[in-house]
Structures are given as C-alpha cells and as structure tokens.
Structure 1
Amino acid sequence: MERTLSSDLVFERSNEQSKAALPLRLLANLMLWQRRIASRHQLARLDSRLLADAGISEAQRYEELSKPFWR
C-alpha cells in the first residue's frame, strides 16, 4: 500500500510556517523602512557639492525624497 500525504496536511503545515514567519517578515519590513527614512534624511542634508561628488542630481534627490517610506 502506498502512503500519500493529503493536501490538507500539507496546507496546514505551510500555514503554520507562514504564521511563524510573520513576525520575522514584519520586523524585517520595519527595519527596511527605518533604513529608508534614515538614508533619505541624510540625502536631504547633503549640499550641492556633496550631491555632485556622489553623482546625484537635484532632480534625482527630489524624486527619492518624494517617495513614501514604504517604497
């Protein structure tokens, strides 16, 4: 007799794994958003000379600073 797993059993296992991974994904997103906020604050403080040294135009800076933190 051949043993097989039912699709319900596999679904429950993957659902449990998803629930366990949810706090980690949430934490990773929060950390990413914080890094974006910090880097955009730093970008906003750069003067035109430093922007030119980094190869960033004023238009590129404005485009980056106008994005919401989740993008």
Structure 2
Amino acid sequence: MHIQPELASAIIDVISELAMELDLHYEDDELVAVAPTFEKVDHLVHFLKVSGYEPPPVYEHVRKRYHQGLH
C-alpha cells in the first residue's frame, strides 16, 4: 500500500489535532474511555508507517499516556 503525500499530510494533521485534544482533556487513567479511538488511529498509523511516514510526536506522547493509564 502506498499513501500519496497529500493524503498522508492530511491524515497526520488530523491525528495530531485529535491527539492534542485528547492530551488536553483527559487524564492518563481516563484515556481508557477512548480506547476505540486509539484502535482506529493505530490502524491509520500502521498504514502511514507501511508507506514510509511517521505519526506525529504528540500522538506517540498521548498513546504512551494511554498505555500507562492501563497499568
């Protein structure tokens, strides 16, 4: 699978905006409430990585918080 640069950029922008909102409005232990969102975004991130793109750092940050909140 290959994602065109314009589409990859748009996906990265949306993931970044979503991650910033999650980071702002949820405590670590509350992020479990949006687990389905993380599953869907992780699916998109997989497609980005397969196509040679990296997810935004803010997403990696909030995803780490999510996993810490699970334990």
Bucket of the pairwise TM-score, normalised by the shorter protein: 0.3 to 0.5
More helix by share: 2
TM-score, scaled relative to structure 1: 0.37
TM-score, scaled relative to structure 2: 0.37
